[in-house]
Amino acid sequence: MTKILEKSFWRTTRVALKPRGRLVRVENRAGTGTPDVYWRLPTTGAWIELKVAIPTAEGGRDFGITREQLLWLADEVAAGGPAFVLLRVKRVTYLVRGDRAALLEGTLTHAELTELADVTCVGRLLGMKIHDAVERFDRHLRRGRVRCRRATAH
């Protein structure tokens, strides 16, 4: 079920983001944790992990993010590269920076997700808002305004 939902979310994402840059869907079985999409923009690029939340029996949401994905995202940001989770919960989409992705564990309310996210889109996915957030984060990374430790030893 999750794969079907993510495939549909990928189609929606592709339509929203493709006019603003080149999208590459990454199907990499060799590198665990590698995000689903690389988005090349005119001035930068960003890795994006696509996730669709599914309800749990306890009434919470399972975001389906693996430990390897969390480590990969944190390492990428620590190395100076923009990386994000694009998370869909019902009709709301959240863009969460890679260095904050570990906070997606547990049950979060809409208000908590909105506070955590750089962008929140209700209904239609707005590519321009996401584009602006990616470029803003990239500028902060380049100016050293984001501090993130490497999550794994290299």
Domains by residue range for the chain, with CATH: 2-142 (3.40.1350.10)
pLDDT at residue number 48? 95
pLDDT in tens, the chain (154 residues): 567 788 888 998 888 888 889 999 987 765 788 999 999 988 889 999 999 987 766 666 778 888 999 999 999 999 989 999 999 988 889 999 999 998 887 778 888 888 999 888 887 767 778 888 888 888 888 777 666 555 554 3
Rounded to the nearest 10 degrees, the angle between the axes of helix 127-142 and helix 2-17 is: 80
Rounded Cα–Cα distance for residues 136 and 36 (Å): 21
**Structure token pair of residue 105:** 């564990």
SS3 assignment, position 17: helix
pTM: 0.84
Rounded Cα–Cα distance for residues 77 and 144 (Å): 11
* Contact (Cβ atoms closer than 8 angstroms) between residue 144 and residue 54: no
pLDDT at residue number 122? 84
CA nearest neighbour of 61 among 92, 93, 105: 105
SS3 assignment, position 64: coil
CA distances from 95 to 28, 69, 133 (A): 22, 15, 9
* Amino acid residing at 31: G
φ/ψ (deg, to 5) at 33: 95, -15
